């Protein structure tokens, strides 16, 4: 049985890293995973493997953001070989041992799977284009949420932000309360304003006291969501707008989201969903 290892989420501290040297903790076949972990990967197959490393720049799927993709490479005998790479197709937080991150992927040949052993040095390489798209979508979602709050917090009884999806084909933010269609144009104008202002997007780490000091006690997350060994929550501040507890990746300023379009407002059972796209 593999002893669980702790994975440091490097992307939470430096979201600009696109390559990282780290060490292998374990390599397992997909078939050998616990049931709970196999269920995390809907497209996993018995030809796939899962690699755990001591650190990762790959963002696991969660918080409304898709997982990163890319490669993990190594150099047998100090020389890069044609088959010395592992294609990372999906990344998740381990459902059994939450301290580690699972990188699901495939080796180019069956023999390549035996080349990587615990303790080996490897290099993680992100699919930069997908990372940038996910970051743009995530920041745009917070811009949209902030725009809606600024317009409607005092207009709709019981208004609140609920959850969001920042997936390319289903991006949208959900709110408590009925947002009528007449608000679509004003929301778009406020979003455009926030983008045009190139508002800085800053990552900070807060204690519960920091939330209270900022008058944001309502945003204090459940402490069970803290990564193992951490005592501060990661927050993303859009300077001049809002603060969000968030573990996702972001662009540096709001204008880098690109053109953000409010597509539709849908209402159901006391909640409203505002969908959006980026171009």
Confidence of residue 79 (pLDDT cuts 50, 70, 90): low
Residue that terminates a domain, selected from 80, 106, 126: 126
Q: Domain for residue 62, yes or no?
A: yes
Asked if residue 166 and residue 60 are part of one domain, the reply reads no
Please state, as a whole number, how many other Cβ atoms lie within 10 Å of the Cβ of residue 254. 27
Q: What is the pTM of this model?
A: 0.93
Asked if residue 139 and residue 86 are part of one domain, the reply reads no
Q: Domain for residue 179, yes or no?
A: yes
Asked if residue 162 and residue 103 are part of one domain, the reply reads no
Residue that terminates a domain, selected from 126, 154, 181: 126
Instruction: Provide the mean pLDDT of the chain.
Output: 94
Asked if residue 220 and residue 118 are part of one domain, the reply reads no
Q: Domain for residue 168, yes or no?
A: yes
Q: Is 182 helix (H, G, I), strand (E, B) or coil?
A: helix
Q: Domain for residue 149, yes or no?
A: yes
Position 3 scores a pLDDT of 59
Sheet holding 243-245, edge to edge: 201-206, 233-238, 243-245
- For position 13, which CATH number holds? 2.40.30.130
Angle at 34 between CA 29 and CA 37, to 5 degrees: 85
Which tokens is 98 given?
A: 């939450």
Span 166-171, average pLDDT: 97
Taking only the tens place, the pLDDT of each residue in 173-223 is 999 999 999 999 999 999 999 999 999 999 999 999 999 999 999 999 988
Residue that terminates a domain, selected from 105, 126, 147: 126
Asked if residue 169 and residue 100 are part of one domain, the reply reads no
Asked if residue 268 and residue 150 are part of one domain, the reply reads yes
Q: Which domain holds residue 72?
A: 8-126
Asked if residue 156 and residue 110 are part of one domain, the reply reads no
- DSSP E strand boundaries for the chain: 8-9, 19-29, 49-53, 55-56, 70-73, 85-93, 101-106, 121-126, 160-165, 172-176, 201-206, 233-238, 243-245, 260-268, 271-278
Q: Domain for residue 1, yes or no?
A: no
Asked if residue 150 and residue 235 are part of one domain, the reply reads yes
Instruction: For residues 89 and 91, give the distance between their C-alpha atoms in angstroms, rounded to a whole number.
Output: 7
């Amino acid at each position: 049985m593999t002893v669980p290892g702790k994975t440091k989420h490097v992307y939470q501290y430096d979201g600009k890293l696109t390559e990282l040297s780290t060490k292998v903790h374990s390599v397992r076949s997909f078939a050998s995973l616990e049931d709970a972990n196999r269920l995390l990967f809907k497209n996993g197959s018995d030809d796939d493997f899962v690699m755990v490393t001591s650190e990762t720049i790959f963002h696991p799927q969660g918080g409304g953001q898709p997982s990163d993709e890319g490669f993990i490479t190594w150099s047998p005998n100090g020389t890069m070989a044609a088959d010395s790479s592992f294609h990372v197709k999906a990344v998740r937080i381990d459902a059994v041992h939450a301290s580690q991150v699972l990188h699901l992927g495939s080796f180019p040949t069956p023999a390549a799977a035996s080349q990587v052993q615990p303790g080996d040095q490897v290099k993680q390489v992100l699919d930069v284009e997908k990372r940038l798209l996910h970051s743009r979508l995530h920041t745009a979602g917070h811009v949209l949420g902030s725009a809606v709050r600024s317009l409607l917090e005092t207009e709709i009884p019981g208004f609140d932000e609920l959850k969001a999806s920042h997936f390319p084909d289903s991006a949208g933010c959900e709110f408590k309360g009925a947002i009528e269609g007449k608000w679509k144009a004003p929301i778009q104008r406020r979003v455009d304003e926030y983008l045009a202002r190139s508002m800085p997007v800053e990552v900070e780490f807060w204690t519960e006291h920091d939330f209270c000091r900022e008058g944001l006690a309502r945003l204090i997350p459940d402490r069970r969501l803290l990564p193992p060994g951490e005592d501060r929550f990661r927050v993303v501040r859009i300077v001049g707008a809002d603060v969000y507890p968030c573990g996702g990746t972001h662009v540096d300023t709001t204008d880098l989201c690109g053109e953000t379009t409010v597509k539709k407002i849908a209402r159901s059972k006391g909640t409203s969903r505002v969908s959006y796209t980026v171009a």
